[in-house]
Structure 1
Amino acid sequence: MKKSLIIVALVLLNSILFAQNKEINPGAFWPDNNGDHIQAHGGGIIKIKNTYYWYGEERRNGLDTNYRYVSCYSSADLMNWKFMGDVVKMQDPENLGYRWILERPKVYYNKPTKKYVMYFHLDTRNYKYARVGIAISDKPDGDFKFVKSFRPLDHESRDIGQFVDDDGTAYLVFEDRALGFHIVKLADDYLSVSEEMSLVKAPLEGGAIVHFKGLYYAIGSALTGWNPNPNKYATSKSLKGPWTEFKDIAPPPTNTYGSQSTMLIKVTGTKSTTVIFMGDQWRPKTQWDSRYLWIPVEIGDGKLWLPEPKPFTINIKTGEYKYSK
C-alpha cells in the first residue's frame, strides 16, 4: 500500500514539474521542459521556420568558473521552452585574465553561408577591453566556435543588442560610453560590420529595436549597472534618423518594473501583430535566479508603453495576445 502511494505521489510530482506552461507570467519562475528555471539571461531570440531559439547567459549554480557558458532553448509557442544544451563552453579566448566577461549573446542566421553567427560582449573584469566577440556554428544548437573579437568601426562596444528588419537585413546595436548608442549594419557574411546607420547621442545600453507600421522604435536603459532604471524609447522613420527625443516606456517610479531591456520580439500573425518587451530582472547576488519580464507593449503612432505586468498568453498563428487574469 505504501509503495503504491509513493508511486502515485511521484507520478503527480512529475506531472506538476513537467506540465505545459499555459501562460507567460512576467517575473515568475519560468520552468523549461526539465522543470528547471530557464537560464538565458541578457539574451536574444531568432525564429527559424516555425521554431524560436532563445540564447542567453547560462548562470546556473555549480558552473566551472574557468568557463563562460551560453545556453540555447527552443520553442514553438514562446511559452514552453526545451533546453537544447550549452552551445558555448568557452575558456578565456584572448588572455583577458581573472573574471573575464562574456555577456549578452545574440545569434543571427546567415542564409548564404548557412552559418549561425553569435555576437557577444567580450571584456575584462574592469570593462576596459570593450569588444564584440564572434562565434559560429553550423547548427542552431551548437557547438559555437570562437572566431575573433573586434571593436565595431573602431568604437568601444559593451552592451549589445540585435535587430533583423522585415526585409531580413541584420543590424547590431552597441553601447559606446564615449559617444552613445550605435546602430550598425552587418557585413554580408555577418562576420564584421559594414556601415553605421545611426549614432544616437544618448547614454543608453540594453539596446533593442522594432519596426512597426512604418516607424522604428529604439529602446534602451540608463547606465546604472545591475540596478534597474526608467528605460526610454525614441522613434524614427529610418534607421539613419533623425530620432525623436527619448521618452519613458513605463511610469518612472517603477524603474521599468524592476527590469532592463534586452530585446523587442515582434509576432506577426494572421489577425494581428504583437510586440513583446523582453527584459531581465537581475539578481546580482543570486544570478541563477534572475527573472524575465516579458510584457506585450502598447505601440503605434509613435508611442510605446509598457502596461503593468500581468500573466498572458500569445497565439503565434494569429499574432494575438490575451491576459490570463
Structure 2
Amino acid sequence: MQALRSRLIGLHLPPLPSPSSLSAKPPCFSLSFRHSFSHSNKQKPNNPNPCSSHHASATKSPQTPISDAAKFVRTVLFVPPGVEPDEVTDDMILPGSNIVLGPYAGDAKIKEVEFVKSSGRPKDCPRDSRPEFAMLGRSNVGKSSLINALVRKKDVALTSKKPGKTQLINHFLVNKSWYIVDLPGYGFANAPESARMDWSAFTKGYFLNRETLVSVLLLIDASVPPQKIDLDCANWLGRNNIQMTFVFTKCDKMKGGKAKRPDENIRDFQELMRQTYREHPAWIMTSSATGLGRDELLLHMSQLRNYWDN
C-alpha cells in the first residue's frame, strides 16, 4: 500500500488521505451508472457500475469489515469490475492516471472509424444499441484534436482556431461496434446567442435520456488553473449520477512566467473535486501533441465498454 501512495504522490497530485481519515463524513456524492437496460434481449446486471461494483456490496453488507487499505484504494483509485480493492497492486495502475486495469480490459486498437451523422436533437441520434462515449468540454479544450489523436487520423473531427465550431451532436463509429460522440463545447463566447442559449437544453437532454451512453469523457485543460465552468459541469454530471472520466488535456503545455505546471493545475482541480465526491472519478493525463495517455485511455474505455456489453 505504501508503494501505491508513493507512486501517486510522485505524480505531484493532491496529498492523499490517510486510511484513518476515511471514516470522516463523506462529501456530497459518488458516481454510478444511472440504470440498467435490456441489450440484445439480455438483461444487464443489477449493478452495472464499472467504478463501484464492490462499493454496492459493501453498502448492502455493512457487517463485513473493510480494511483500511481497501478504503484507501477505493477512495483514491478507479477500481473496475472484477478487481477487489485489496487485490490492487502498483503495476495495475495505468501510467499518468488513477485507473486500475482489470480483467474486462480487451482489444483497444482502433482499426477503422467513420463519421455517421450530425444531430441537432438527442432524439435524432443513431438508434442502434451500440455503446458510446461522449466527449465533453470547453470549446477550446482540444476535444477534436483528442478525437483525431485517438483514431490516428487527421481531420476526422473538425478542428478550428475559433472556439465553438462544433454545435451539433456528432457520432463517429469505431470498428463498426461502438461510438465516439463529439458534443458541442460549452463556454464559447463567439457562438451565436441562440446556440449559447440552446446548448444546455439539448446537451443535457442527451445525457439524461441516452441509454447507450457508457461514460462521459469530461475534458479539462491542464494548462490553465481550474475553471468554475468545468467544476459546475462536473458537479451537474455527479448530481445526475452520470458516469464520467476526467481527461486532462494539453499536459505537455508549459506556460511562461509564473504560471503553474499542468500537474499543479491537475492537483488543484482534484483538490476541489474531493470536496464533492466520496470516491474520486477516474482521471487520466493526455496530450494530443505528444500522444501521452492515448493507449492508456483506450484501454480504460475498452474495460468500461466490455463490462457494459457483457
Q: Which category of TM-score, normalised to the shorter sequence, fits these structures?
A: under 0.3
TM-score, normalized by length of structure 2?
Answer: 0.27
Structure that is richer in strand per residue: 1
Larger Rg: 1
**Higher RCO, 1 or 2 (CA under 8 Å, sep at least 6)?**
2
TM-score, normalized by length of structure 1?
Answer: 0.26
